[in-house]
Amino acid sequence: MEREQIETVAHLARLELQEAEIPVYQASLTSILAFVGELDRAQTEGVAPMAHPLAGLTQRLRPDVVSERDNHERYQANAPQAEAGLYLVPKVIE
């Protein structure tokens, strides 16, 4: 992994890295990718990818009716900044 690749991945993941962290992640992601590269050894032709451990389990659906109560005040008690029932963030549109 090049330094630029780490910076790109960190940007995609919305993570600000300190200067000192970059070489550390460069080294460890390089070794992790080399390690998971062992997967290339496996013969997977014709094997269906497995997304979920319980074969045959299908997504359950429920009737389209209101099932939850409005608890926004309770939930917003954890918000860093909220006002009048709204979450506040820095101005997005000038």
Footprint on this chain of another protein (rule: CB under 8 A): 5-6, 9-18, 21, 24-25, 28-29, 31-33, 35-42, 44, 47-54, 57, 59-60, 62, 71, 74-81, 87, 89-92
Q: Shortest distance, CB of residue 82 to another protein, whole angstroms?
A: 9
Residues 6+ apart with CB under 8 A from 3: 22, 23, 26
Minimum distance between the CB of residue 38 and another protein, rounded to whole angstroms? 5
**CB 41 → another protein: shortest distance, Å?**
7
Q: Between the CA of residue 70 and those of 61, 73, 84, 85, what are the distances in Å?
A: 21, 8, 15, 12
